[in-house]
Amino acid sequence: MTSMDAIGVPDRGQDDLHEHLLDGDLTIYDPRSRRAVFLNRTATATWGCADGGRSDGQIAAILAEQFDQDIDSITSQVSQLLDELDDLELLEQREPPRRRR
Amino acid sequence: MIVVAATEWSAVAAEIADDVTGRLLASAFRSLEHREDSQVDAPIVARVSKGSDGYVDVTTAAGIVTRSAGMAAALDVATEFNRELLDRCMHFAVHAAVLSTRGGTLALPAESGTGKSTLAAACLRQGFGYVSDEALVVTLDGAVLPYPRPLALSRWSRTAVGITENPRSGATSKHCVDGEELVSPLQLGQVVFSPAAADVRAVIRMRRRSGDPLLTRLPRSQGATELLRNSFNHYRDPAGAVALVHRVAERAESFDLGLDDPSAAAELLASHFGVRESDSWIHRPC
């Protein structure tokens, strides 16, 4: 399963992100970019950790413990996901530590 | 000159010229159910005129929308009405086959050409109630509105669902263009005309799979994704659409249906979900 799936939704709108959590998976609708972004469980956890106070490595360490994974195997995946969220302009800061809008 | 007026969720031939095209159009629109309770607020009107070159122009308020010959003109009118009706629909709508079961409604969102109509026909023959083979229309509180219409089935589809080619059997209509035949759902099984059918019980993603059909559970968020991905009017209120698909998906289960043989898939769905029980809102074939 891919960690993220984005669907374009044309609109003019507000700046606030709309979040819908269902069975651990999160949908974020961004009125500014007119996109709905679907995050699976691990991507949702990553999103939740991006509070502006943690580096990519620190987020990877938290997720490694939470999902019982080897940190070396997930660090690059976490950074890649955060880069994708950056590209979708869902993060406020493009450099770590990154924070949700 | 032929004028055909469509009202919400129904279509009626208002005036039919006495020529071949007129008879074909009248035949085509007889396949559509006329709803006595329809509101004729702003009927859609298409004017059909035959030029000296033998071709038929179908004209709406938007101008000439198609130029075609014979029965194709009737289908073009129906297609145009369908597009216009769905465009006017103020409820959230998704490209989907929609079937009624004992415990609620099944929604199978999918793009055109993925076999929605064929699977719907097969399910009708299994005893499911027909709600639509085109659109899942959902009110804000999640209730499903019926959108019945004739099913356009290719020869392969008719064979796959076991519809006989014998015209005396009464199993099929006689409207045929490019190998596709318009089949009234009433000729295949039960049609649900309830003003608000039961809530969506399951969202089922369809995909091709060789061999026996396979039904596997998906995360409910995937059901929400499929509904939004196949919606065609979410742009009117995108934030509301995202919220609505989650409300629908939250109350439903989500599945992946791998299928090759539509009849086998319909049998699998019937064994898993059970078929429709009778109620006063169902029309049955005579």
The helix/strand count (H/E) of chain A reads as 3, 4
Gap from B219 CA to chain A (nearest CA, Å): 7
In DSSP notation, A41-81 reads: HHHHHHHHH-BSSS-HHHHHHHHHHHTT--HHHHHHHHHHH
Q: Give the span between the Cα atoms of B53 and B44, in whole angstroms.
A: 27
Gap from B103 CA to chain A (nearest CA, Å): 22
ipTM exceeds 0.85: no
Please write the tens of the pLDDT for every residue from B252-282: 999 999 999 999 999 999 999 988 665 545 5
Contact state of A23 with B220 under an 8 Å Cβ cutoff:
yes
Contact state of A25 with B219 under an 8 Å Cβ cutoff:
yes
Contact state of B239 with A27 under an 8 Å Cβ cutoff:
no
- The predicted structure's pLDDT at residue B102: 79
Q: Collect all residues of chain A within an 8 Å Cβ-Cβ radius of residue B92.
A: none
Contact state of B239 with A11 under an 8 Å Cβ cutoff:
yes
Residues of chain A below pLDDT 50: 1-2, 10-14
Within an 8 Å CB–CB cutoff, is residue A8 touching chain B?
A: no
Using DSSP, state whether A90 is helix, strand or coil.
coil
- How much is the pTM? 0.75
Residue of A nearest to B250 (CA): A22
| Beta carbons of B259 and B213 less than 8 angstroms apart | yes
Q: Collect all residues of chain B within an 8 Å Cβ-Cβ radius of residue A40.
A: 219, 221
Residues of chain B below pLDDT 50: 1-3, 6-18, 28, 30-41, 167-174, 280, 285-286
Gap from B250 CA to chain A (nearest CA, Å): 7
Residue B121: count other Cβ atoms within 10 Å of its Cβ. Answer: 30
- By Cβ distance, the residue of B221, B224, B242 closest to A18 is B242
Contact state of B239 with A34 under an 8 Å Cβ cutoff:
no
Please write the tens of the pLDDT for every residue from A76-96: 999 999 999 988 889 887 677
- The predicted structure's pLDDT at residue A38: 92
